[in-house]
Structure 1
Amino acid sequence: MSVLELRESPNLGVLFPKAVISGFSKKGGELPDRTYRRTDVRVDAKHLADYNRVCEFRLTDELPATYPHMLTFPMQVKLMTDADFPFPLVGSVHVANRITQTRALRVDEKFDLRVHVENLRPHPKGRQFDMISEALVDGEVVWHDVSTYLRRGSGGSGESGAGDERRELPSASAVWRAPEDIGRRYAEVSGDRNPIHLHALSAKLFGFPKAIAHGMWTKARCLAAFEGRLPEAYTVDVRFKLPVFLPAKVGFHAEQTSDGWRFDLFDARKPKPHIEGVITAL
């Protein structure tokens, strides 16, 4: 696998319009065999503070486990908008995300980032693949992120993935409000200005009745509810179910397991799941 160095974070303001234009020429095929890498990356303390406020993390010197995803996301988008990437970015659905940290990263640390794609495989509704992102300190991987995307279409086969089975939703232990503007607020810190997240009018252009919350915001908001109760080394694995239409009232439920936690986020008014998640201590 070839490794290409990036001197700075890719510009999402350029890449998203490119994704719309280039998407019409994507015809499927094999995944590209290369890694994008950035070295000696430093965290902007103000950006981290803004992210923590939007996702309701406490303001500390440690990065939330979901925060490095902000730094690798532009690299993911660059890879997915390259000419040889087989699927359009627009219309690819983020269906799952698994993050493992062996220790918390700190705001004053330097680290390297790298991103590649792998594991193209069938899905009952099309095909899916994994975007792999990593943060390394002194050559050691301390943070590992697997974002699974589904491309709907023909050619689907195989069994449903783990977590696709229906189950009865638990009772809410907390009820949260997701305000109408949370998509715009999260877009400011993440750079993900997909129109489906920004406003009801722009979301309707893509077939949604209202704007929907970013999946990674819902995951981060759930993770923030566990602050002070997690070990330093753990995996947090979620399946994104039905979208959160904004504004929304969502129910949250968490229960302790033998090696961590299980949690759910769901519509507080109707029995509709948004997230199923598991936290496992390493």
Structure 2
Amino acid sequence: MMADAALVLTQPPSLAPLLARGALLSPFKRPSPEAEFPRTRLVLPGLRVDLARLAAYERVCGFPTGEDALPLTYPHVLGFPLAMRLMSGRDFPLPLLGLVHTSITVTRHRGMPATGAYELAVWVEGLAAHRRGTEATVVTEVREGGDLVWESTSTYLTRHRTHHPARSPESAGPAEPAGPADPGGEEGRQPWSAVAEWRIGEDVGRRYAAASGDRNPIHLHPLTARLFGFPRAIAHGMWTVARCLAAHGAPDSCQVRAEFRAPVPLPATVTYGAEDGRFELRGRDDRLHVAGEVRRI
């Protein structure tokens, strides 16, 4: 469902004030799948990529640097400030604090040069009942010269008491608390073929935050993470997906679906596995953190 009206921006919103506004408004939100939600489509034309910031992103995520090509996940970083403007507003019914990014589907229609000029559009597609609460779907589109070159659909979950029918299990995200994985899901299957073991430093959350602008306190330091119930800082979910895709690779025209299953506490040692176009990230205790699939289109 496309948004009702377009609001054209002249520059990307600043993330810090949006995070603060969302935090202040969170206690007053009353989430429900029947709630009204913002119908505005935010549009940012003429966007050019900051190449220094892109290089920092490539380094922290493991992508090659210096190529005139955007990594598959980088448009999410470009669109994130617009999504945050929508989700931190008074008319967005889900509280920003505790909002869980549960899944993302990315479709890249063709390669995207880092030196190109792009138009971003972001809107909230709708709300839905989830067995754990209410889920919002946020769509991001990127156009070059009027042609759709990249699009994504993200689901964000806020947990609250509900009597709605069960949905598929999803439990972890890049900025948020995540409970134990649901029984009967992918958690109990045999791991895919191990490709590499990665040691993730305690500072990866701060490094990714500097490159992406996503400075949620649960990723930055154990002290700030403890304020939200985490004994240690956790890695950004979108960093885990990007790191997997940097190792996995993807054709210019492809679709990626990834689910965030459990947070990665920092520091950590994890195992990256891959099999028949699928990939996953597991902890030393065999806990499934991320599961995804890449397919050519």
Of 42, 45, 50 in structure 2, the residue corresponding to residue 44 of structure 1 is: 50
Aligned to 1:30: 36
| In 2: Cα distance, 1:190 partner to 1:108 partner | 18
Distance in 2 of aligned mates of 1:133 and 1:216: 15
Q: Within 5 Å, which residues of 2 pair with 1:101-120?
A: 101-120=108-127
Contact in 1 for aligned 2:258/2:291 (Cα 8 Å): yes
1:242 has 2:262 as partner: yes
Shift of 1:84: 0.7
Match of 1:78 among 85, 89, 96: 85
1:148 aligns with 155
TM-score, length-scaled by structure 2: 0.90
Structure 1 residues 156 and 185 mapped into 2: Cα distance closer, same or farther (>3 Å)? farther
Distance 1:202 1:162, change over 3 A: closer
1:278 maps onto 2:285 in alignment: no
TM-score, normalising length: structure 1: 0.94
Q: Which residue of 2 aligns with 1:10?
A: 13
Q: SS in structure 2 opposite 1:173?
A: strand
1:162: Cα distance to partner? 7.0
The structural deviation recorded for 1:132 is 0.5
Q: Matched residues in 2 for 1:197 and 1:71: separation? A: 19
Matched, 1:251 2:271: yes
Count of matched residue positions in the alignment of Structure 1 and Structure 2: 275
Distance 1:127 1:20 in 2: 18
Output the CA distance in 1 between the equivalents of 2:252 and 2:81: 26
For 2:36 and 2:270, how far apart are their aligned partners in 1?
39
The residue type paired with residue 193 of structure 1 is R
Q: Deviations over 1:60-98 (max 9, x none)?
A: 110001001111001000001111111111111001011
Query: 2 CA distance for matches of 1:157 and 1:169?
Result: 32
Alignment counterpart, residue 169 of structure 1, candidates 175, 188, 191: 191
Contact 1:241–1:274 under 8 Å retained in 2: yes
Cα contact 2:192–2:275 (8 A) shared by 1: no
CA-to-partner distance for each residue in 1:130-167, whole Å, 9 max, x for gaps?
11011011222110011110110123523332776132
Kept after mapping to 2: 8 A contact 1:64/1:104: no
CA RMSD of aligned residues (A): 1.3
Shift of the alpha carbon at 1:30? 1.7
- The amino acid that maps onto 1:32 is P
- The 1-side partners of 2:151 and 2:158 are apart by 23
| Letter paired with 1:221 | R
Unaligned 5+ runs, structure 2: 171-181
Conservation of the 8 A alpha-carbon contact between 2:262 and 2:288? yes
Can you list the C-alpha shifts for 1:147-197, whole angstroms capped at 9, x where unaligned?
110110123523332776132323522100110000000000111111100
State the identity as a percent. Answer: 43
Distance in structure 2 (CA, Å) of the matches to 1:129 and 1:81: 13
1-structure distance, mates of 2:76, 2:163 = 28
User: SS state of the match for residue 225, structure 1?
Assistant: helix
- CA displacement at 1:127 relative to structure 2: 1.1
In the alignment, structure 1 residue 231 sits paired with structure 2 residue 231: no
1:181-236 deviation per Cα after TM superposition (whole angstroms, max 9, x unaligned): 00000000111111100011110110011100000000000000023xx3210011
Contact 2:193 2:274 in 1 (8 A): no
C-alpha contact (below 8 Å) 1:4/1:36 kept by paired residues = yes
Q: Which amino acid aligns with 1:248?
A: A
Whole-Å separation in 1 of the counterparts to 2:164 and 2:214: 31
The residue identity in structure 1 corresponding to 2:228 is: F
**Structure 1 spans left out of the alignment, 5+ residues:** none
Aligned residues of 2:191 and 2:273 also touching (Cα < 8 A): no
Kept after mapping to 2: 8 A contact 1:123/1:156: no
